């Protein structure tokens, strides 16, 4: 389809939405708007410099306007995306693009459901296929194609789809990766016993990815640089399968999923490549099958909540193109195996999911001692398949509520974090942290409250460097004052109290720096506005196990969020 034809199609789609909205009063119209603006204030001492935004652009913005309409079995939607000197795609560069980022048309015909356009969906827990959006990292893995669903009987559903994955890394927002993705699933539900107290929800899924000719040529070109005995045979098609089931029996729920990937070529960053000159390098192109086994069992009752998760992953790097890396082109989503923490210092070191070699176990226990007191413990252990330590975490927390007047939360986190693997930093020890924290909420009245946080991070010693590990020790304090339902104000500071190896240096001395932040929030009905002054240290940002390293930030942030 030519560019002009695409533009006419978008215009026709939008006109159809507008006409339907004006012509009917029985349908349902919905939407949302989100916009972020950044003013960049250069601060070379903390590393907030040497990218276009700090050097000369000074301002960046990103925004999304989402519109949807549903009537008489029809549903349709369209989203406009805008990125002006944005740092979302790549925090160390500038990204500018605007246009239609999503559209879809859907219709129910009896038991048959039909959808065309940008589709967000998954099979099982998403291990072999998940098309999703995570705006904080500008991940938009929508499947651009068609999907058909069919209700075989009351509790059994069949789904099939075909298309291409959206390529969100170009200035043309309608670009797609050329490889073809197709697949399907069958999901059911069966109950047993009196009143259906025992039930199972089984499912089976399949996905196939076919490489395009251009990607195959690139792989062959890479292999021509290998010695003949190190070359592998790339294939156009990779097949993935998954079986999954949820068993529910009273207070117990057990989910298990197994996935298998057929043999294909992929880059292994730890595989050694012998070069023609006799030297050895890493990141070799290998060809192996892959697998994932994931299970979660939980119990809830009598004041006790217990969840145990386990996972084993081997060579399950499935992308729409083999030569892509980092978060680009991922077709599936492997669940993370650590607690999703919320406090500033407890989230400083987060483990990214490893798709080539990972075995992990997590246990979470919560017990309501009485109406006022709740205690919880979470344990996470993540290793490579060779039993190298990747991550350890133990976090205990106690929450005490005194009537409706105040709430006190206190906890302790102990971590071991493989910075060499997660942040690709060579010759660094496992980062060890000890983080106590306290959170106190006091309600001055029905509409007024004040909340304070105090956190302290103690890190281990880097004996080789002669300093504390990474950035060393941190003290974080925050005060939040809220006047419901409209206003909230926060003031916080993250203080590098005992600098480490990577802390800023002035005159050959590590310096103790403050990283302050001030926020103003205003909410009116379904509209929320925020204005913030931020000075932020370099660190890992994660969304559901998908992580990336972000550089330091210095500047002013403004945001709008609205739903209608």
- Measured CA to CA, the distance from residue 74 to residue 63 in angstroms comes to 27
Could you list the beta-strand ranges (E) of 224-283.
237-249, 252-268, 273-274, 280-281
Report residue 243 CA to chain centroid gap.
Answer: 24
Lowest mean pLDDT among 98-102, 128-132, 471-475, 539-543: 539-543
Closest CA relative to residue 544, chosen from 289, 309, 341:
341
> Residue 392's CB: how many other CB atoms inside 10 A?
19
Token reading at 433: 């942290």
Predicted local confidence at residue 406, as pLDDT: 96
Model pLDDT for residues 398-439, shown as the tens digit of each residue: 999 999 899 999 999 999 999 999 998 888 999 999 999 999
Element (H, E) at 4: helix 3-23
pLDDT at 20 exceeding the cut of 80: no
Dihedral angle, C-alpha 381, 386, 390, 396, nearest 10 °: 10
% of the chain surpassing 90 pLDDT: 83
For residue 159, what pLDDT band results from cuts at 50, 70 and 90? Answer: very high
User: Which tens digit of pLDDT belongs to each residue from 494-514?
Assistant: 999 999 999 999 998 999 999
- pLDDT value of residue 168: 87
For 9-70, the three-class secondary structure string (H helix, E strand, C coil) is HHHHHHHHHHHHHHHCCCCEEEEEEEEEEEEECCECCCCECCCHHHHHHCEEEEEEEEEEEE
Average pLDDT, the chain: 93
Token pair belonging to 470? 């990474």
pLDDT at 25: 55
Candidates 91, 83, 103, 134; CA nearest to 10 is 103
Averaged pLDDT for residues 288-304: 97
pLDDT at residue 222 is higher than 50: yes
CA distance 351 to 390: 8
Beta bridge partners of 489: 481, 520
Token pair for 156: 């059994």
pLDDT of residue 17: 53
* 301 CB-contact burial (10 Å; exposed 0-12 / middle 13-18 / buried 19+): exposed
Residue 19 reports pLDDT greater than 80: no
Query: Stretch 117-125: mean pLDDT, rounded?
Result: 97
Given this model, what pLDDT does residue 8 score? 44
Alpha helices in 25-115 (DSSP H): 52
Q: Residue 274: what pLDDT?
A: 85
Kindly tell me if the per-residue pLDDT of 487 is higher than 90.
yes
Statement: residue 23 has pLDDT above 50: no
C-alpha distances in Å from residue 187, one per residue of 158, 297, 463? 7, 20, 54
- CA-based max dimension of the chain: 76
């Amino acid at each position: 389809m030519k560019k002009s034809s695409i533009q006419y199609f978008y215009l026709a789609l939008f006109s159809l939405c507008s006409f339907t909205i004006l012509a009917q009063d029985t349908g349902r119209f919905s939407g949302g708007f989100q916009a972020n603006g950044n003013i960049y204030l250069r601060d070379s001492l903390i590393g907030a410099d040497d990218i276009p935004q700090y050097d000369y652009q000074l301002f960046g913005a990103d925004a999304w306007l989402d519109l949807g309409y549903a009537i008489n079995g029809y549903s349709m939607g369209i989203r406009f995306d805008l990125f002006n000197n944005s740092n979302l795609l790549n925090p160390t560069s500038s990204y500018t693009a605007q246009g239609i980022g999503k559209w879809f048309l859907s219709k129910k015909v009896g038991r048959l459901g039909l959808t065309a356009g940008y589709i967000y969906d998954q099979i099982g827990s998403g291990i072999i296929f998940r098309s999703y959006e995570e705006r904080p990292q500008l991940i938009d893995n929508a499947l651009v194609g068609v999907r058909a669903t069919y209700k075989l009987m009351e509790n059994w559903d069949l789904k099939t789809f075909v298309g291409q994955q959206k390529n969100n890394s170009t200035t043309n927002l309608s670009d797609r990766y050329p490889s073809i993705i197709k697949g399907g699933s069958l999901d059911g539900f069966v109950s047993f016993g009196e009143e259906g107290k025992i039930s199972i929800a089984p499912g089976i899924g399949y996905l196939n990815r076919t490489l395009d000719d251009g990607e195959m040529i690139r792989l062959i070109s890479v292999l021509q640089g290998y010695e003949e005995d190190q070359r592998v045979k790339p294939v156009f098609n990779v097949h993935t399968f998954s079986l999954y089931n949820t068993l529910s029996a009273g207070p117990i729920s057990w989910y298990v999923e197994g996935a298998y990937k057929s043999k294909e070529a992929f880059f292994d960053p730890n595989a050694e490549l012998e070069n023609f000159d006799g030297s050895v390098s890493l990141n070799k192109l290998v060809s192996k099958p892959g697998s994932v086994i994931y299970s979660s069992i939980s119990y809830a009752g009598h004041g006790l909540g217990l969840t145990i998760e386990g996972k084993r992953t081997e060579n399950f790097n499935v992308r729409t193109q083999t030569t892509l890396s980092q978060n680009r082109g991922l077709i599936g989503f492997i669940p993370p195996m650590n607690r999703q923490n919320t406090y500033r210092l407890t989230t400083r070191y987060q483990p990214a999911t490893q798709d080539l070699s990972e075995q992990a176990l997590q246990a979470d226990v919560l017990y309501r001692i009485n109406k006022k007191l709740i205690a919880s413990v979470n344990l996470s252990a993540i290793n490579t398949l060779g039993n190298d330590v990747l991550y350890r975490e133990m976090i205990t927390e106690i929450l005490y509520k005194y009537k409706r007047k105040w709430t006190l939360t206190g906890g302790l986190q102990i971590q071991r974090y493989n910075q060499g693997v997660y942040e690709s930093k060579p010759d660094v020890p496992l980062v060890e942290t000890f983080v106590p924290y306290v959170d106190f909420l006091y309600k001055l009245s029905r509409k007024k409250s004040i909340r304070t946080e105090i956190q302290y991070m103690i890190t281990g010693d880097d004996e080789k460097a002669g300093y504390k590990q990474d950035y060393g020790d941190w003290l974080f304090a925050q005060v939040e004052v809220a006047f419901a339902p409209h206003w909230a104000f926060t003031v916080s500071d993250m203080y590098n109290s005992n600098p480490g190896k990577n802390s800023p240096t002035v005159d050959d001395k590590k310096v103790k720096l403050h990283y302050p932040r001030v926020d103003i929030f205003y909410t009116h009905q379904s509209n929320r506005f925020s204005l913030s002054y931020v000075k932020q240290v370099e660190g890992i940002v994660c969304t559901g196990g998908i992580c990336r390293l972000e550089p330091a930030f210095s500047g002013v942030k403004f945001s709008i969020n609205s739903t209608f």
